[in-house]
Structure 1
């Protein structure tokens, strides 16, 4: 048995024992000993079918040809009590040997009947269960009991045990939630309408994180999809990028957790086909890390990915449709899934051209209906990248998109492509990271590793420090000629289905002005101010236009170095006059005050986020239109 000797705590691999150690000639009895377990050891001996389900039927009903059952079932014994998991199951009436889908909800969510109906309408039986425990809204929930009260995710006490490592990771809330998921699979496979050999599972956000563990440990799952969630919880990449200080990862808890419970350590054990769906700017599952974990899957494990450009914790319907098609392929014998497209940089020194080359799967018979491509300049932080849309052109079996607008930039360029098929599939390429220097030198490209690469300090600083004087700077930020052109909104709904709508749309006023219109209860935002070509300069103010027939007050927000956990918010309250005529807003840096201290913004340096925060009751006019954002001299 390998024993790690520590100065303060005892850690053993696979077995816990009290260690006696010496320090300065004195024997120290180690009263706290923790096991460092591998994934195999964490789940060794666990049988999700061993305990009886002990189903308590709460309600049964039929609607629109779908049969529903609401119930409690036993998860596990904990002390003198048993965990009682809340779940809802549904299936098309009269269904036999149907493929079954397990829904694993996200943080703060619960069992979802709309998601069940979505799958039932597609010919699946489906089960949605609650792992989050006690809820303040009166909805039914899982009864974790006193011994496992830490598994109540929405209560503050859970923080003490969410990632517990004493005596090992089985003491954590994440472990209990994974056990609940495996027991839910046992309930699903036992339903009379279900073919137990055709089970699939998908999880959203925290549920997506759990999916990696479930897919690796439970061979009953034959198709998997993780949405947003992918682990890497112990990597403090925002701290490093915001401060330039490399975090200390030598902490015992961190090493024990990474060894036995983080999703990335489970990836090499996954044999089921795995689809990852997310947004390019998601705060929870960073885009760069997605390709790290997908690359860790066994070579023969099918895998794919799709990213909605620009958004955070929101998946557009074009990418969300992948989930059902993925399940159809692996559980119903549907059409072969195309391989992920390949991307590379082509540099023609003679012609002075730089292009992104996109190669869809040459062995796929499905027609490609369109290809979209995007690039971002210099920002190593996935959450705040501004994605410039490129214009791919089809040339034989590949597509090419010019990168001439970025040709003079000396820093890192990030790029990826989305390939759309007639079947409704949307596939994203890997994230390509390169620089002109590396490309000319023939150095290979790859995905960014946010915790081992050196900090690109200049890539997060002001325009004058970018070292990109040959990048053409534009005072025009947005004029509507290219549709939304980088404008998105805050997340309207993390669940990818069934209720989808356009959170923001390009529109044209009656007098021909192009702009964008947000959904009534959403706030438009853009990361464009972080692009080296669109940064504000000393002596400039931000100007934009707004058309509305109704009056209201809203807040303009800018952030310096947008990090969800380290941002500095500056706010400016403005009023809509509601006269139905174009209204011009001109805002100097001094118009903005820090949300807490009240200090004024001294300049546009490091500002890379702009948000138009909606009024408390939403935007007053459904035909409201924003247009013509630009930098002008004060």
Structure 2
């Protein structure tokens, strides 16, 4: 199929009488004409109608795949400074279907509009438009990476790799790369050739421009004959999570929303004008659509403590949260599937997610150990109920340290069922640190559900998770309640006994490599001068890798029926450049891997530790510090 090749500049700009065209073109946003830039949410959106302009849809490529009609297309975002802005996207729906719920899928920073999200949703009975706000696209025979984005900017239509992509025209909504050096999404840009307004203004910011594009995507869905215009949803990951909140918080046509890892924590900006017009809080307060928040407990971009505010800020009592322990900015299928199930519930009425678990934290107890009680919705089969808590959070309302957020360790509290509730004790190592605690309830699905995850990887799962809200208690409250520090420090990091995996994590659970943040917790802090010891059992001879914060070492395993002891010092671990670890102080994440390859950013040289695993997965025991 021939692919359209349209130069970046509009036809109007190429004509001899371009100035006449520019005069005749009516801009989407009225000029300020000496007035101040919008100072509030209401002023920013006042008078904007996402249905007012034609869409001017261009189909760039069309094909059929597994009974799904698929298209790469562009639609008109608007007119800015006399030039048309066009958004590229991947769109698809099951062939011959009618009255479909419609979804807007929004990629994150560095990500792509992706055909797999569209295809997998179509197989589940949805029409989906995956929007390429940053310019990149991943579709069969239509792949646009950052290099191809630059070809488009430069008008290199004769280059074999050239593709027609998103064209922001006279403004800059691109990201990684951006066209304008001043295009930094967390900041309101200074006036330049790429900004809408001649003063510092939220209308010139990338978040606002992209939200315009998402609202126009809703208009596109409304106008498709196969879509039910009254059943529109929006979801996205990371920066796409924030854009999900901005879109749902500015457009009442959104009937269901599912932001992941974003849209709840952009509330610490130093610029009051940014906070008043583009901060997460102001949009959360305008959301009326039922919303599910996918927020891994260690995510740095959508922090779990801010999640507790977000569910109270939205203007609906139809919400759920799902929070994987230990994860940061990634998830596994039982958490990712929440998006698909939420749309099934709200837009189709074909599923019902159980209610949020009721919880109670009791501090004042005779033994000085807090207890957490959980009463789950038992309307579906419960596979597991898990309680997680940490003392590496904070309750002072300030932004948490990014590295601490990603590495905090969540202790697992074994819960005992008593009637319709589960209870678990929370032994603490200190009463000088706050306490955070929440519960996860894992439910069985009647039949497996398949979809595309945060980064478009296919998944299939027979279970899903619903989380409780998190209880947060200050150190002062612990002291007043008479809580006692009963958890002692330990040299034994992991026995690998019952429930050991609750303190470890993997984003690929079908494989054996696994990681933990236990070494970052004060309970298992390394003594000065200690060595790290581990025993390994492998039936076959193998090499494996052990990692600490980007530094790795290789272990050769003889194989057989005998346990093999390993003893390591900091100097045994090295980075991609050969730099030694040096000390155990401040280590955050320990990894047990089959093989790991590191690449030196400067030289490009690669260094491999371990290798392809042979035979059954290894067994481990007695991971501990050996004091000097």
> Equivalences for 1:12-411 in 2 at 5 Å?
35=37, 37-133=39-135, 135-136=145-146, 138=148, 142-148=165-171, 150-155=172-177, 157=179, 160-161=182-183, 162=185, 163-165=187-189, 166-233=199-266, 235=268, 249=270, 254-298=271-315, 300-347=316-363, 349-350=365-366, 354-361=370-377, 365-380=379-394, 381-403=404-426, 405-406=427-428, 409-411=431-433
| Deviation sequence 1:499-555 (CA, Å, 0-9, x none) | xx5265xxxxxxxxxxxx21xxxxx43210122221111242111244565665856
| Deviation sequence 1:7-45 (CA, Å, 0-9, x none) | xxxxxxx99798xxxxxxxxxxxxxx9635211211111
Structure 1 partner of 2:455: none
Retained in 2: the 8 A contact 1:477–1:528?
yes
Structure 2 partner of 1:557: 548
- Residue of structure 2 aligned with 1:631, choices 613, 625, 628: 625
Q: Secondary structure at the match of 1:330?
A: helix
Structure 2 partner of 1:427: 466
Q: What is the rounded CA distance, in whole Å, between the counterparts of 1:422 and 1:555 in structure 2?
A: 34
Displacement, 1:109? 1.7
Gaps of 5+ in 2: 1-29, 137-144, 150-162, 190-198, 395-403, 446-462, 598-607
Structure 2 partner of 1:502: 509
Displacement, 1:470? 4.5
Q: Secondary structure at the match of 1:128?
A: strand
| Deviation sequence 1:164-201 (CA, Å, 0-9, x none) | 25431110111111111111111112111111011111
Q: What is the rounded CA distance, in whole Å, between the counterparts of 1:137 and 1:583 in structure 2?
A: 49
Displacement, 1:202? 0.8
1:621 matched to 2:600? The reply is no
Which region of structure 1 is more displaced relative to structure 2, 133-142 or 469-478? 133-142
Retained in 1: the 8 A contact 2:542–2:559?
no
Structure 1 partner of 2:24: none
Q: What is the rounded CA distance, in whole Å, between the counterparts of 2:576 and 2:94 in structure 1?
A: 52
TM-score, normalized by length of structure 2? 0.75
Retained in 1: the 8 A contact 2:267–2:281?
no
Retained in 1: the 8 A contact 2:261–2:301?
yes
Q: What is the rounded CA distance, in whole Å, between the counterparts of 2:106 and 2:519 in structure 1?
A: 37
Displacement, 1:477? 0.9
Structure 1 partner of 2:27: none
Displacement, 1:294? 2.0
TM-score, normalized by length of structure 1? 0.75
Q: Secondary structure at the match of 1:259?
A: helix
Q: What is the rounded CA distance, in whole Å, between the counterparts of 1:331 and 1:151 in structure 2?
A: 30
Q: What is the rounded CA distance, in whole Å, between the counterparts of 1:45 and 1:530 in structure 2?
A: 52
Q: Secondary structure at the match of 1:279?
A: coil
- Alpha carbons of 1:598 and 1:352: their partners in 2 closer, same or farther (altered >3 Å)? closer
Q: What is the rounded CA distance, in whole Å, between the counterparts of 1:599 and 1:615 in structure 2?
A: 16
> Equivalences for 1:438-477 in 2 at 5 Å?
438-439=477-478, 441=480, 470-477=486-493
Retained in 2: the 8 A contact 1:144–1:151?
no
Q: What is the rounded CA distance, in whole Å, between the counterparts of 1:136 and 1:532 in structure 2?
A: 43
Q: Secondary structure at the match of 2:337?
A: helix
| Deviation sequence 1:236-288 (CA, Å, 0-9, x none) | 8xxxxxxxxxxxx4xxxx11111101222211111111110121111221111
Retained in 2: the 8 A contact 1:546–1:624?
no
| Deviation sequence 1:440-459 (CA, Å, 0-9, x none) | 7469xxxxxxxxxxxxxxxx
Displacement, 1:377? 2.4
Gaps of 5+ in 1: 1-13, 19-32, 237-248, 444-466, 493-500, 505-516, 519-523, 559-568
Q: What is the rounded CA distance, in whole Å, between the counterparts of 1:40 and 1:172 in structure 2?
A: 16
Q: What is the rounded CA distance, in whole Å, between the counterparts of 1:372 and 1:136 in structure 2?
A: 42
Displacement, 1:594? 8.3
Q: Secondary structure at the match of 1:477?
A: strand
- Aligned length in residues: 523
Q: What is the rounded CA distance, in whole Å, between the counterparts of 1:408 and 1:179 in structure 2?
A: 49
Q: Secondary structure at the match of 1:615?
A: strand
Q: Secondary structure at the match of 2:596?
A: coil
Q: Secondary structure at the match of 1:106?
A: coil
- Alpha carbons of 1:220 and 1:575: their partners in 2 closer, same or farther (altered >3 Å)? same
Retained in 1: the 8 A contact 2:232–2:253?
yes
* RMSD across aligned positions (CA): 3.2
Retained in 2: the 8 A contact 1:280–1:307?
yes
Q: Secondary structure at the match of 2:330?
A: coil
Displacement, 1:468? 8.7
Q: Secondary structure at the match of 1:601?
A: coil
